[in-house]
Amino acid sequence: MNHFLIAPVVLPALVAPFIIMVVRYHLDLTRIFSLASTVMLVAISLVLATQAASGEVQVYELGNWSAPFGIVLVLDRLSAMMVLLTSVLALVVNLYVIGSGWDKRGANFHALFQFQLMGIIGAFLTGDAFNLFVFFEVLLIASYGLMIHSGGTRRFQAGVQYVVYNLLGSTLFLFALGTLYAVTGTLNMADLAVRVAEIPPEDTALLRVGAVMLLLVFAIKAAVIPLHFWLPASYANAPLPVAALFAIMTKVGAYAILRMYTLVFGPDLAITEGLAGAWLMPAALVTLMLGAIGILGSYRIGRLVAFGAITSMGTLLTAIALFSPEGVAAALYYTLHSTLAAAFLFLVADLVSERQGIEITAQRLMPQSGLIAVLFFTGAIALAGMPPLSGFLGKLLVLDAARDHDLVWWTWGVILVGSLVTILGMARAGSLLFWKSHSITAETDPTAPQPYEEEANEQEEETEDTSTAALPFVACFALLSGLILLTIFAGPASHYAEATAAQLFQPEIYIKAVLGKVTP
């Protein structure tokens, strides 16, 4: 048994309490430990990714209880890719947070950050449905803390909505798991797959109810219409660097859909045949369009990027809903791209809102306006999926994969029109923020910049020196270079995605690795 497999869960789980209990009053020490932990996470997940790239599915049996009796962690290509993506994103966000001083504005940022990573990585690795619920709760409870980090009236109000919505999601998750357990008598994903396939179709009414409830739960996470209402308000009112980390959280929902509906309720399964795809596809297309319209209508920069995240989730889920190897491969490539792109834009949005507040209006020229404008427009190009960045390739892959689908014209039409509306929306926001500002001087400025929280005002004087520090820009450029690398190495990346998709559509490999000899 490869004990290395549990390292990315254990490491943050140990570092977080250490930060709380031992070094909580020493800002520098918390930063050092948090940063060291995220750097080590990147190293660990690189090792895991190279191990998984061979195509072997590794299983870690917790407490050496063999599946299906104990909980297992499973590392296949998909989990390894998602863990690597999470840890890279975490490192960049951590650098940004330290550079911009966001972690000074409230207590225990880094401990919550580590717990959040533990939950996300655990959710990607686990091979047990109830354990997936537990890791969901770990990542959620950490995200509640991060979301209301540094406080403020609006942030608390948005926090209440976010928590209530997610508690409802958790309750629904429990109902779904209870239903599945009542029918199958197991919660191990591989064992579920075996037993679900054995149940005679006439006895599966409850099972199908469970499958649909589970899809709803993951759709809440992935912010699919009509369950997306929590996202814009939460992400826009969370500290924007935290929202950048949250860019991976919607992907947890997409990952769970991909995992459960290829492994347990696969596209070939008679009882739920095409159920997920048939419902998901129209919902994903509407999500995409609504996200694009939201971008066009946003008057605050946080909401602008939050709707950008929604539209990229729409594209991603459109590709997943095809439930074909090509579609999933495109979805995986697009996952890498859209996570980096959304996080990048959230960081740029924070650069803007730190300098001139959250409104998208023309104000006096902010410091480093030129540099931030370049970053913003690059991010907009990436998000909208224009050449030369990886968003273009990702969307091209999605369009290509949809070629044989029944709804091909709808898919193509919505993706292309959605991209156009996204471009318009981003161009409008960018022109207002960066170009129109050139015509406003200190004398003609109708409203002096008004940071929207009183607290932010006081903080600003303290953090004046750090707002020009280089580290936030280093973080932004790191994400940008990630996008550029993803474009240059699109060949290897999409080959890996294809291999991952091929592995997902051969669930017997996964089942055999987990259950070993127990398979009938």
Partner 1 sequence: MTMGFLNIEFLVASAVGLLTAAGIYLILRRRTFPVILGLSLLTYGVNIFLFATGRLMVDAPPVLNKYAEVPYTDPLPQALVLTAIVISFGMTAVVVMIALAAYLSARDDKIDMPHHPEDEGEDA
| CB closer to partner 1, 13 vs 504 | 13
Q: Is 18 in the site for partner 1 (CB under 8 A)?
A: no
To partner 1, the closest distance from the beta carbon of 322 in angstroms equals 33
Stretch that binds partner 1, among 70-78, 139-147, 286-294, 317-325 (CB under 8 A): 139-147
Q: Is 171 in the site for partner 1 (CB under 8 A)?
A: yes
Q: Is 167 in the site for partner 1 (CB under 8 A)?
A: yes
Q: Is 2 in the site for partner 1 (CB under 8 A)?
A: no
| CB closer to partner 1, 206 vs 471 | 206
Greatest Cα pair distance in the chain = 80
Q: From the list 10, 14, 43, 164, which residue makes contact with partner 1 (rule: CB under 8 A)?
A: 164
Stretch that binds partner 1, among 102-110, 174-182, 316-324, 422-430 (CB under 8 A): 174-182
- Binding residues with partner 1: total (CB under 8 A): 34
Cβ contact 276:215 at 8 Å: yes
To partner 1, the closest distance from the beta carbon of 87 in angstroms equals 25
At residue 101, the 3 state secondary structure works out as: coil
Tell me the C-alpha distance between 249 and 412, whole Å: 27
Alpha-carbon separation of residue 472 from 204, 211, 284, 343, 412 (angstroms)? 53, 43, 33, 13, 37
Tell me the C-alpha distance between 168 and 70, whole Å: 28
To partner 1, the closest distance from the beta carbon of 358 in angstroms equals 9
Q: From the list 99, 152, 239, 314, which residue makes contact with partner 1 (rule: CB under 8 A)?
A: 152
| CB closer to partner 1, 32 vs 174 | 174
To partner 1, the closest distance from the beta carbon of 153 in angstroms equals 4
Q: Is 156 in the site for partner 1 (CB under 8 A)?
A: yes
Stretch that binds partner 1, among 24-32, 106-114, 153-161, 480-488 (CB under 8 A): 153-161
What does the angle CA 74 – CA 35 – CA 305 come to, to the nearest 5 degrees?
Answer: 80
Nearest to 6 by CA among 85, 76, 61: 61
Q: From the list 130, 377, 410, 505, which residue makes contact with partner 1 (rule: CB under 8 A)?
A: 130
Stretch that binds partner 1, among 114-122, 175-183, 463-471, 496-504 (CB under 8 A): 175-183
Tell me the C-alpha distance between 223 and 287, whole Å: 8
Q: Is 433 in the site for partner 1 (CB under 8 A)?
A: no
| CB closer to partner 1, 267 vs 451 | 451
Report CA dihedral (278, 280, 282, 284) to the nearest 10 degrees.
-160
Question: Tokens 């929202």 identify what position?
Answer: 243
Q: Is 160 in the site for partner 1 (CB under 8 A)?
A: yes
Q: Is 144 in the site for partner 1 (CB under 8 A)?
A: yes
Rg (CA), the chain: 22
Burial of 32 (0-12, 13-18, 19+ CB in 10 A): middle
Q: Is 159 in the site for partner 1 (CB under 8 A)?
A: yes
To partner 1, the closest distance from the beta carbon of 234 in angstroms equals 11
Q: Is 327 in the site for partner 1 (CB under 8 A)?
A: no
Tell me the C-alpha distance between 385 and 408, whole Å: 19
382: Cβ contacts below 8 Å, ≥ 6 apart: 337, 340, 341, 344, 345, 389, 390, 391, 483
Stretch that binds partner 1, among 140-148, 305-313, 437-445, 471-479 (CB under 8 A): 140-148
Q: From the list 29, 35, 61, 175, which residue makes contact with partner 1 (rule: CB under 8 A)?
A: 175
Q: From the list 4, 279, 410, 452, which residue makes contact with partner 1 (rule: CB under 8 A)?
A: 452
| CB closer to partner 1, 151 vs 413 | 151
Per CB under 8 A, contacts with partner 1 among 176-215 are 177-179, 181-182, 187
Q: Is 174 in the site for partner 1 (CB under 8 A)?
A: yes
Tell me the C-alpha distance between 485 and 376, whole Å: 18
Nearest to 267 by CA among 231, 224, 321, 215: 321
To partner 1, the closest distance from the beta carbon of 135 in angstroms equals 11
| Half-sphere exposure at residue 216, Cβ-oriented, CA atoms within 13 angstroms | 19
Q: Is 233 in the site for partner 1 (CB under 8 A)?
A: yes
Q: From the list 168, 440, 471, 502, which residue makes contact with partner 1 (rule: CB under 8 A)?
A: 168
**Phi and psi at residue 126, in whole multiples of 5°?**
-70, 150
Three-state secondary structure string covering 312-359:
HHHHHHHHHHCCCHHHHHHHHHHHHHHHHHHHHHHHHHHHHHHHHCCE
Tell me the C-alpha distance between 34 and 12, whole Å: 9
To partner 1, the closest distance from the beta carbon of 331 in angstroms equals 30
Q: Which residues here bind partner 1, judged by CB under 8 A?
A: 130, 134, 137, 140-141, 144, 148, 151-154, 156-161, 163-164, 167-168, 170-171, 174-175, 177-179, 181-182, 187, 233, 450, 452
